[in-house]
Amino acid sequence: MTAHTLRYYERVGLIQPVGRARNGHRRYSEADEAWLHFLHCMRAANMPIRDMQRYAELREKGDATSLERRKLLEDHQATIEAQIAELQKAHDLLTYKIANYKKIEERIGVGRPQLIEQEEESQLATAN
Amino acid sequence: MTAHTLRYYERVGLIQPVGRARNGHRRYSEADEAWLHFLHCMRAANMPIRDMQRYAELREKGDATSLERRKLLEDHQATIEAQIAELQKAHDLLTYKIANYKKIEERIGVGRPQLIEQEEESQLATAN
DNA sequence: TATTGACTTTGAGCGCGCTCCAAGATGTAG
DNA sequence: CTACATCTTGGAGCGCGCTCAAAGTCAATA
């Protein structure tokens, strides 16, 4: 997380105005750090800034927003699950295609380059 | 995948100029569809357009590029694994926080709202 | 014939999440 | 005292991946 990003997050309300040293430089408390860690983790999981803003806003409102906050987290957890499923599909497809390339490379090795294009086609045809 | 996206992909060289009907409208062959399916799957796994362009380019060059293509796929497979790991971490954190919210909501239910903020803090402190 | 409606093109515009620039204040080392 | 590094600010700029606007062509239907 760069300094630029920290200031950006403060600007857009993801973090409350943070404490300053006497010279005006920002000093992040441990609570700030914990919160930033959470934000970082959610961003890494592709939570949109908008949603994080919403969550931050609710958090500042306090007690009464627990249910809504939980719903927000549950929703994002569901999208994470969907993302993992997509990634897994792609991963499987790549495993298949990579194995196919290895086969093709073997054939080149033993001198039958004329079959390569055909193999490539069949790879495309069956890739799913 | 929208028509806009299909045309965009053609513009940037992800797919070769596709066949046309007599009236000039695009007609996608089954080979086109298979390739588009692959592109779609890789995009869903966050492969950058640039990388897909590179792969497409190699594919058009044919046989001799097998190794480089495989490397490209292997690299992306590795980034998929990293992404899954990140998502899993976020998922776990959310599981923890959601459980915590449920506890908090229970307390509200039995009438001890004064402990909520404290719980919230401890949640932040231990969230990891 | 007139009117849809689906396609075509070029090129511009947009939303996201940063990322950087320019100018200025402050602190540290030589 | 002079450099230099490091922070401060507001605002502009950027890379990505679409997404859309405008104007035109063509086929089918009322």
Using CA atoms, how far apart are residues A16 and A88, in angstroms rounded to an integer? 37
Tokens encoding B78: 């590795």
Using CA atoms, how far apart are residues B15 and B23, in angstroms rounded to an integer? 21
The percent of residues above 90 in pLDDT, for chain B, comes to 78
- Report chain B's mean pLDDT, rounded to a whole number: 88
Task: Give me the count of residues in chain A.
Answer: 128
Q: How far is the CA of B36 from the C1' of C6 (A)?
A: 22
Q: How far is the CA of B71 from the C1' of C21 (A)?
A: 39
Residue of chain A nearest B99, judged by CA positions: A70
pTM above 0.75, yes or no: yes
SS3 A58: helix
pLDDT tens per residue, range A3-42: 999 999 999 999 999 999 999 899 999 999 999 999 999 9
Q: How far is the CA of A7 from the C1' of D24 (A)?
A: 49
Q: Which residues of B touch A102 (CB under 8 A)?
A: 70
Other residues' Cβ atoms within 10 Å of the Cβ of residue B51: 16
Q: B19 φ, ψ to 5°?
A: -60, 155
pLDDT tens per residue, range B41-75: 999 999 999 999 999 999 999 989 999 999 999 99
Nucleotides of D under 7 A from a protein CB: 7-9, 16-20, 26-27
Q: Identify which of B45, B95, B128 has the shortest CB distance to residue A86.
A: B45
pLDDT, position A127: 36
Closest CA of chain A from B30, distance in Å: 8
SS3 B26: strand
